[in-house]
Structure 1
Amino acid sequence: MIPPANNRSALAKPIGISLLSLFLLASCASPGPPRPPSLHLPEIVSDLAAERQGDEVRLHWTTPAKTTDGLTITGTMTAQICRATPTTPIVSTVRHPEVCTPVGRVPAKAGPSEATDLLPPALANGPGELIEYRLELRNRNERSAGLSAPAFVAAGPAPPAVTGLHVVATEQGALLQWEPKDAADSIELTRLHAATLAKPAAGAKQPLQSAPKEPAEVHLRASKVNSADSLFRPDAGGTLDATAHRGETYGYTAERIRNVVIDGHSLQVRSAPSTSIKVIMRDTFPPKPPVGLETIVGSSASAPSIDLSWRPNTEQDLAGYLVYRRELGADGQVVGASVRLTATPIQEPGFSDTTIVAGHTYSYSVTAIDTLGNESRPSASAQEQVRLP
């Protein structure tokens, strides 16, 4: 029996709701197996580096900002430093694949990090063997994802420290000298730029032009000051830093460097750094006088002039040139005082004097001036006579 139309409509509503519910249930994606809770283990350090300097080993690395499951690290971390040698190797067991005895612990936070390990006398003064360092990052629950890859340094005596280091500002640069040693160790100088320490005193000359931007730190390998120095003696007791700019202030330290090879590893052993010294490269050195000054009377009869030219100077701190004129009498003697024709330094090696008077004879000279106002001696003079029309 077919139910009436109104009954059919009433039956259709619950059936439609049931189908919709089934569709929604079927369309919900399965969440999959539940994920275990995070152990908040910091990622393993991947860029550990070690450098031997005197009896200390300086360690550098980047502390990760994420855990092994990709979460941002929260809370405190500790970097545990492990040191191993042939007599105290890293131990591997079934439960702990790599375990080494810690020699230090430092707080760690995400970003560039560093620590220092003072070697015991047995390693600092003993035989030249390989020292291996590993780093283990631990969370606040003292849990770790494991040890970093190794970084190596050499045991054994370090080169002697550089003594007697001193520096003098010269026209060619900063001349550094120290007490030489008869050894094959090379010398490395570290130069720090300290312009803020060289604020000019009241009344001091100000640069006419800005100096080039200086790097904060520069490393220089010492080269021989004198070409006659022995080829078999890298430590000649001095070197010239020709890259030091006048008007700047620098601090210098020096280290001896010894290259060694242990178990296939090429390593450097550095001495402890020398005492730091400072030099203010006061620019009291004028440029060289211009050369090749020539004069010629201008070609215009209505506007007489004398044109000057000379060879350009090559100093890096050159600000320009100043032109001077003297008038000569009929007997060739100077009449009156010298007159400066250029109020400010001119950049080009040439000048046109349009203030002359026909029938007079003039003598010209040119000086070069640097960015701090140091002026050279005058060039050789050149004379020119302007004939009457």
Structure 2
Amino acid sequence: MKSELKWENRNCLECPPPEQQLVHNIDAAAVKPGGDGRLRWVDTNVSYRRAFRYQITVTDEKGNPLSLSNPAIAKVYPGPAAPVDLTAVTQPQGIMIQWKPALKDIEGNNIDALSESFRVERLSGEKGWEKASPTLVKGNAYLDQSVAPGQSYSYRVVPALYTDEVYVLGDPSSTAQAKGPESVLPPPPDRVWITPAHGALEIHWTETDGKTGGYHVYRREGKEIIRLTATPLAHPPFVDQGAKKGATYSYAVSAVSAQADHKEGLLSKWIEVRNLITE
């Protein structure tokens, strides 16, 4: 069910809605839900600077209503225009990405610079586009330090306009390419997980992109942290034979550089586990 709201009522869920109209029927038995178990429908009959109120009605086989969902309001804004003049330059500490904000929306209207932020995204190998910046960036530059030595990356920048207490994303910029500096310390693994292994614990991790000289594994018990690997491991897993039954441990993994000095990068996130495995 759909109704169009007056623009001044776009944030008012309690305001009496205009007459609602049935805009789409979904046969739940004939539609496959997404990976999160939800059904989806896209409304293409919308326009900028208009607000719409939606509700879902559950009906029986004869079309009689059985229940009605909570209302949801969608406000349609023109997104910010894509940044231009994107560059990516290799520096000793990482890759510097710079761009020029358009400071206009896609209809050509001016945008206040203070209300616009940017999401820097990168592409490497088969991972697909991912966030290079953990938070939105203000300004026109970002230094990506979590890159692997010698690894090639593509970058793009997505503008985000803050209005009505929400972020409206625009189209991404064109792309720019650069390689991670050979001297940069390798980033930590993205994921670490633990599995039981014949009375011991196996520590696994995702291998870092680019060139590395191996990995070190750390164990934390209470406030004590020890490195379990005397020399870097070329590949996962690492088997912790010293894990005691019933003890609670946390594990983290770091990558080391491919150079002879094997300089060590940052630790991954700590993963906690309680060893309940018997021999």
Give the TM-score, by structure 2 length: 0.45
From the two aligned structures, give the one with the greater helix fraction. Answer: 1
- Structure with max Cα Rg: 1
TM-score, structure 1 normalization: 0.35
